[in-house]
Amino acid sequence: MTITNKATIIQWNNEKGFGFATANGVKYFVHVSALGRPSRSPRVGDTIVVNTFGKGEKGPRIESGLLDGVPTLENMPRQTHFARPRKQRPVRNFMRVLCVVLALIAGTYTLVGKLGSSSQQPQSTATQTNVNASQYTSKDEVARFICENGYLPPNYVNKNEGIRMYESKTGKRLERWNFNPQRTLGVMIGGDRFSNRDGRLPQGDYREADVDYFETNRGPRRLVYASGCNIYYTSDHYESFVKLKF
């Protein structure tokens, strides 16, 4: 296998400032502080040009690198400031005061709007809780994500990547999927082509994705999907299908 110094971000938590990236078949922890103050937050799918790989208490990690194609704050072009004549200072001071007043007014309206909205439309606990991308595991959550975005959530990897992650973590050769990938690797398996050899589904270019892991292995539950929110669910490993409606 060709060794590369480029890693691809597969999970990212903006609130906590860290995530995970894969390179050379290994899943690495990466903190935003290791990326040289990028001018925007990292995103799933970004490429990291790695300067140094390392190993921490919790496993492999990226010690330093840069987001490919994203300038750092130090390299952002600076604006040239020209000294203004002293006679214009009163105008500048007036503009500063005006900006502060407008900001206070906007903040007041925003607060009032939020209070009114919360009092008129009580939300359930499920609505108030944002689902983290790494927690897309159930049939309905994953299917809706596919329908809205056209691709799987970022916590999914295909079978080949899952095998590489397993063998890198355990040091063992994967003989069969007799383990739960979510518990063992922190990912779900999906994205491989579904051939529809038995012709149980209409003709189409399908892919498959595991859902609802509850056992000590991958279980029999799958989504089979194509473009245009064309998504089917099977609970018995492709013996029967139910089309999901949105």
Q: How far is CA 26 from CA 10, 101, 136, 145, in A?
A: 12, 52, 22, 26
pLDDT at 145 over 90: yes
Burial of 85 (0-12, 13-18, 19+ CB in 10 A): exposed
What stretches of 67-180 show up as alpha helix (H) in DSSP?
A: 89-120, 125-128, 139-149, 159-170
pLDDT at 51: 92
pLDDT, tens digit, for every residue of 2-13? 678 999 999 999
pTM: 0.48
- Determine whether 15 is an active site residue: no
Confidence of residue 81 (pLDDT cuts 50, 70, 90): very low
pLDDT, tens digit, for every residue of 125-143? 333 333 344 579 999 999 9
What's the CA dihedral at 123, 124, 130, 133 to 10 degrees? Answer: -140
pLDDT at 106 over 90: no
Sheet containing 230-234: order of strands: 156-157, 188-194, 206-210, 222-226, 230-234, 242-243
Give me the mean pLDDT over the 138-149 stretch: 93
Domains of the chain, earliest start first: 6-74 (2.40.50.140), 133-243 (3.10.450.30)
Tell me which of 148, 215, 237, 239 is the catalytic residue: 237
- Nearest-CA neighbor of 221 among 179, 198, 190? 190
Which bin fits 37, alpha (ψ -120 to 50), beta or left (φ > 0)? Answer: left
Contacts of 184 (CB under 8 A, 6+ apart): 166, 169
- Determine whether 208 is an active site residue: yes
pLDDT, tens digit, for every residue of 182-220? 999 999 999 999 999 999 999 999 999 999 997 888 999
Confidence of residue 236 (pLDDT cuts 50, 70, 90): very high
Q: Please provide the DSSP assignment of 168-203 as one string.
A: HHHSS---S--S-HHHHHS-EEEEEEE--TT--S-S
- Nearest-CA neighbor of 16 among 28, 29, 32, 27? 32
127 or 24, greater pLDDT = 24
Give me the mean pLDDT over the 75-91 stretch: 53
